[in-house]
Amino acid sequence: MATTTPETAVQVAAPRNRLIGPMPKIGIRPAIDGRRKGVRESLERQTLEMAGSVSRLLQSKLRHSNGLPVECVTPPTCIGGVAEAAQTAALFEREGVGLSLTVTPCWCYGAETMDMNPLYPKAVWGFNGTERPGAVYLAAVLAAHNQKGLPAFGIYGRDVQDRGDGSIPPDVEEKLLRFARAGIAVGTMRGKSYLSLGGTSMGIAGSIVDADFFEDYLGMRVEPVDMTEVVRRVEERIYDEDELARALAWVKAHCPEGRDYNGPRFERTRAQKDADWVMSVTMTLVARDLMVGNERLASGHGEEALGRNAILGGFQGQRHWTDHFPNGDFMEAILNSSFDWNGIREPFVFATENDSLNGVSMLFGHLLAKTAQIFADVRTYWSPAAVKRVTGHELTGVAAGGIIHLINSGAATLDATGRQAVDGKPGMKAFWEISAEEVERCLAATRWYPAMTEYFRGGGFSSGFLTLGGMPCTMSRLNLVEGLGPVLQIAEGWTVDLPEKVHEALSERTNPTWPTHWLVPRPEGRGPFRDVYTVMNNWGANHGAITYGHLGADLIALAAMLRIPVSMHNVAEDQVFRPSAWSAFGAHEPQGADFRACQTFGPLYGD
């Protein structure tokens, strides 16, 4: 049930699963030497305790993106051979397991005890001890996984532990959590939908929605819905009218309008703007209901009440909609935010211009980081020389090598203002960690500018704000390449602050009514990360998905599970974690090995 913060009367939604289908659980597989009459009996307790410690770790550290706790499933006995492996597999099917983690302190019979489910992401932790050869089993079972085409992540602690040491070393814990976060994301996407609201927007390739990609690589279906469905629901009032009234009152109180940059010839009247607000808010209700349904519609509109079970959505907007109706900026910004008139809740993931590939990148970030996601144009690289020529200012510090201007029509999450605090610094948080005061700060930092009618003839409102600097972030992008398939790009970096007059001078050269994020990717001095310019020059599309925090290593692990190669990243080598089979494709050339392994094993759900 929702709770209320008395000072501001902001509702905080209780964590819930708003999608159809169970949330994936983690299956813990305690493997053991099956020889009885002494060997197995001496190891049973240690092996089950090892499984228990892993289960407690994962359940204490992890949540689903909807805020509910992650559950682990452990069989009542260890797995010493084929029969117990089959019993465990049946248990996992009944319990809704989505990924499996085998743990052992000892030698076991590899091919007899391994997980054979082809859809589960898999990992094996072999205890680094001297009394029993857990590492020998790890090597043997990973060889079996590789030989059978069932890739698994190998986890082996750097330091030897004593037999009675039940602790989980920090390096092992890091890999266990990374595997679990990525594996949960895989299981969460499976069976869900992408709501394609409209078609191709302005010829943007990412909005040419590829159903085969969604089905083969993500296990998702594509649900195309024409934008006329929005018109029908608005005109026939297929939405919660009480909620609309409440939403409009909230907007009036919390969404102040900004300056109208349209000239007299293009400026809309006050009556038109008021009507635009009503339409924009109504569109938000309709899009949400299309994604996940609304039980309040069941009386009289049973079909519409069901929704499309969409974990991800996108809206074409331009130009077929926006030449006549208000733009979708308010709808997209509010859906992508962690709060609205109903209070604080899990953000939706909703792509501007129906760019499904950027939407998938946003979905990856949301499932891994649990935070709201930023959708932006990767608009302009500003070199230090160009900034100095235009403003007289010399970039210094993190920004000394130049900056990238991320900006798009005002559809970015309001969480991106940076007005939430993480360790006393600007940040973005999971919805269950956000306070009512932080919501108020995000809203206060945002202005809603009347849409520039040279772009949006039908009017509307665009959010405008400046993202605070100092936030670690990861920009990612999924691209489809003919003959290659999907590839992922990753760039970790930081947002930066500019002096107010410098920001204004640069922002006024483009569209000051839209959100601005000044980004500096972390350069490496080589390849596509030689400097900030080369990151911009190698980016594969006009859009990027930006996630708070440095989660490139998690994205790499997730991509490997889905058999999506990573074409560029700036993640430290010791943080890259992929299935053990990848090294067989070229241990000295990990990037090329990633491409070859993904091509060989093929998409997770493909033929």
**Residue numbers annotated as active site:** 353, 377
**For residue 286, what are the contacts with CB-CB under 8 A and spacing of at least 6?**
230, 233, 234, 238, 239
Count the Cβ atoms, other than its own, within 10 Å of residue 497.
18
C-alpha span between 267 and 257 (Å, rounded): 14
The DSSP bridge partners found for residue 516 are: 407, 466
Entry field: residues in the chain = 607
Could you give the C-alpha distances from 554 to 2, 312, 377, 474, in angstroms and in order? 31, 20, 23, 11
**For residue 157, what are the contacts with CB-CB under 8 A and spacing of at least 6?**
127, 128, 169, 171, 172
- Residues 496/472, Cβ–Cβ less than 8 Å: no
- Residues 332/282, Cβ–Cβ less than 8 Å: no
**For residue 66, what are the contacts with CB-CB under 8 A and spacing of at least 6?**
15, 16, 17, 18, 23, 346
Could you give the C-alpha distances from 316 to 42, 196, 332, 386, 553, in angstroms and in order? 63, 8, 11, 34, 32
- Residues 255/448, Cβ–Cβ less than 8 Å: yes
Q: Which amino acid is at 538?
A: N
Phi/psi for 67 (5° steps) reads 95, -10
**For residue 541, what are the contacts with CB-CB under 8 A and spacing of at least 6?**
205, 206, 355, 357, 358, 378, 477, 479
C-alpha span between 334 and 341 (Å, rounded): 10
Count the Cβ atoms, other than its own, within 10 Å of residue 447.
17
Please state whether beta strands 97-104 and 122-126 pair in parallel, antiparallel, or not at all (unpaired): parallel
> For residue 462, what are its two tokens?
């665009």
- Residues 165/541, Cβ–Cβ less than 8 Å: no
Q: What residue has token string 């972390």?
A: 522
* Helices and strands: H and E segment counts in the chain: 18, 24
3-state secondary structure of 606: coil
C-alpha span between 7 and 503 (Å, rounded): 35
3-state secondary structure of 69: strand
C-alpha span between 286 and 229 (Å, rounded): 9
